[in-house]
Structure 1
Amino acid sequence: MLYVVTGPPASGKSSWVDAHAKPNDIVIDLDRITLALTGPGAPQWNQHPLHLRIAHRARYAAMDAAFQLLDELDVYLIHTMPSAKATARYRRLKARIVVVDPGQDVVTQRIAAMRSPEMERVASRWYNARRGRPRQGMPQASRSW
């Protein structure tokens, strides 16, 4: 089974995956990949453009390989804002789409406390893209922050 976990930055997507994925499952998380590809002491949420360029390539390669094994294992993919093309691909793969959204006020507070200010723009884009859609996210916090 493919689980595609979406939501704004700092919403708790990684925490949701940590609570649901089993040790034998595949977890594809751009933040984890970027951290794995950078040196000791790199920030947990590294948004350096050069690091992200390499991490995106590794992520796409991991996705291609993991999607071929969906009959054998579960795959958890964190994808903040999948495009229409990506969403169509996930639906063809019969993915379960999970939206993690504790609310814009909570996300804004978490970004201010833990993330780079650029993430505020990403969160705003995420919420603007969802305007007019019924709220499907998690109303509760994903973990104690």
Structure 2
Amino acid sequence: MLYVVTGPPASGKSSWIDDHATARDVVIDLDRITVALTGPGAPQWNQDALHLRVAHRARYAAMDEALQHLDKLDVYVIHTQPSPKAMAKYKRLKARIVVVDPGRDIVMQRIQAMRSKDMERVATRWYKARHKLPRVAMPQASRRW
């Protein structure tokens, strides 16, 4: 099964996956990939643009491979703002779309506390496009902040 976990920055997407995925599953999370590809002490968020560029390439390669094995394992993909083309692909793959959204006020507070100012723009863009995502109730609260 493919799970596509979407939501604005700092909404709790990784926490949702931590609560649902098992050690046998594949988790494709750009933040985790970036940390894995950088040296000791690299930040968990607000990564360098060049590190992110390398991590994006690794993410796409991981997705290409993992999606070929959906009959044998579960794959969790964090995709903050999937394009219509990506959503069509996920639909063809019969993905379960999980929208994690604790609300704009909470997200903006978390971004101010832990993320770069750039993430406010990403969150604003996510909320403007929110109507394009399927209406899915968040089955749990996000991370225990």
Q: Quote the sequence identity (%).
A: 77
Pairing 1:49-60 to 2, within 5 Å after superposition: 49-60=49-60
CA distance in 2, matches of 1:10, 1:137: 17
Match of 1:80 in 2: 80
Match of 1:9 in 2: 9
Task: Normalising by structure 1, report the TM-score.
Answer: 0.94
Preserved CA contact (<8 Å) 1:102 1:140: no
Query: What secondary structure, in the 3-state scheme, does the structure 1 residue paired with 2:55 have?
Result: helix
* Cα pair distance change 1:139/1:111, threshold 3 Å: farther
- Matched positions, count: 145
What residue identity is the alignment partner of 1:138?
A: M
Query: What secondary structure, in the 3-state scheme, does the structure 1 residue paired with 2:63 have?
Result: helix
Preserved CA contact (<8 Å) 1:102 1:137: no
Preserved CA contact (<8 Å) 2:2 2:93: yes
> What is the alpha-carbon root mean square deviation over aligned residues?
1.7
CA distance in 1, matches of 2:108, 2:9: 9
* Cα pair distance change 1:103/1:140, threshold 3 Å: farther
What residue identity is the alignment partner of 1:93?
A: L
Task: Normalising by structure 2, report the TM-score.
Answer: 0.94
Match of 1:103 in 2: 103
Match of 2:121 in 1: 121
| Residue ranges of structure 2 left out of the alignment (5+ in a row) | none
